[in-house]
Chain A
Amino acid sequence: GAGVSQSPSNKVTEKGKDVELRCDPISGHTALYWYRQSLGQGLEFLIYFQGNSAPDKSGLPSDRFSAERTGGSVSTLTIQRTQQEDSAVYLCASRKGGGDHNEQFFGPGTRLTVL
């Protein structure tokens, strides 16, 4: 596809369950980012991939959060033992990389609700 896609668009889960969110970046974009937006907040950086490696995991809020990227393309963000404070919109973005100032293109997000 032409843009960044994410699935599912909405996810409702019970507290304590694990969830997996998927991001399919723009073809050829080497840099991939995960952000989240909690209610009434700005976007918060979670993790950055360059190719398949994650040189920066500094934004992950706890060790319940992990992410991987395979084949330099699709990425999954996994949240284990979900808590109510994990409820947010999780956004993925990709960037060409290599250059210095390429803008990031965002997907539509996954709205996660933890009951």
Chain B
Amino acid sequence: DQQVKQNSPSLSVQEGRISILNCDYTNSMFDYFLWYKKYPAEGPTFLISISSIKDKNEDGRFTVFLNKSAKHLSLHIVPSQPGDSAVYFCAASAWDTGRRALTFGSGTRLQVQP
């Protein structure tokens, strides 16, 4: 039972355009959401996060949107750059006695074409 789903295994965009990566979740106890970026042979790198009390968080070229009623979040990258090419993982956590273990989606491979 996948609690965090990334239904698009891959996405290709042109340099300078917007990249939109989507993520859906099923567990209503999740209250904190994160996006990680992963290059081959490296560990995931934290990108941006959002608490369930917000619906938007922005950091430079990266913006995360949260729609709690739809249990959906998205990551927007504007403008996309070739260096953004990587696998992006959506992750979620619940308070759950402070454990805060992350439940990850299966990832979306983003390719930004020069």
Residues of A within 8 A of B (CB): 4, 31, 33, 35, 40-45, 48, 50, 55-56, 59, 91, 93, 95, 100-109
Q: Would you call A95 and B43 a contact (CB within 8 A)?
A: no
Which residues in B have their C-beta under 8 angstroms from that of A104? Answer: 46, 100, 102
Tell which of A31, A56, A95, A108 touches B41, judged by Cβ atoms closer than 8 Å.
Answer: A108
Q: Would you call B89 and A107 a contact (CB within 8 A)?
A: no
Q: Would you call B49 and A45 a contact (CB within 8 A)?
A: no
Residues of B within 8 A of A (CB): 4, 6, 32, 34, 36, 41-46, 49, 51, 89, 91, 95, 97-107
Q: Would you call A106 and B44 a contact (CB within 8 A)?
A: yes
Which residues in B have their C-beta under 8 angstroms from that of A108? Answer: 41-43
Q: Would you give 12 A-B contacts (Cβ < 8 Å), ordered by A?
A: A42-B104, A43-B104, A44-B104, A48-B99, A59-B101, A100-B95, A101-B51, A103-B49, A104-B102, A106-B36, A106-B43, A107-B43
A101-B49, A103-B46 as given contacts; A42 in contact with B41, CB under 8 Å: no
* Closest chain A residue, CB of each to CB of B95: A100
Which residues in A have their C-beta under 8 angstroms from that of B100? Answer: 31, 95, 100, 102, 104
Q: Which 9 A-B pairs have the closest CB atoms?
A: A106-B43, A42-B104, A43-B104, A42-B106, A103-B46, A45-B101, A106-B44, A108-B43, A107-B43
Q: Would you call B44 and A43 a contact (CB within 8 A)?
A: yes
Cα–Cα distance between A105 and B106 once the two chains are bound (Å): 18
Interface centre among A45, A91, A100, A103 (most CB of B within 10 A): A103
Interface centre among B4, B100, B107 (most CB of A within 10 A): B100
Min CB distance, A81 to chain B, in Å?
26
Which residues in B have their C-beta under 8 angstroms from that of A101? Answer: 32, 49, 51
Cα–Cα distance between A35 and B38 once the two chains are bound (Å): 14
* Closest chain A residue, CB of each to CB of B41: A108
Min CB distance, A108 to chain B, in Å?
5
Cα–Cα distance between A34 and B91 once the two chains are bound (Å): 15
A42-B89, A42-B106 as given contacts; A56 in contact with B99, CB under 8 Å: yes
Q: Would you call A50 and B98 a contact (CB within 8 A)?
A: yes
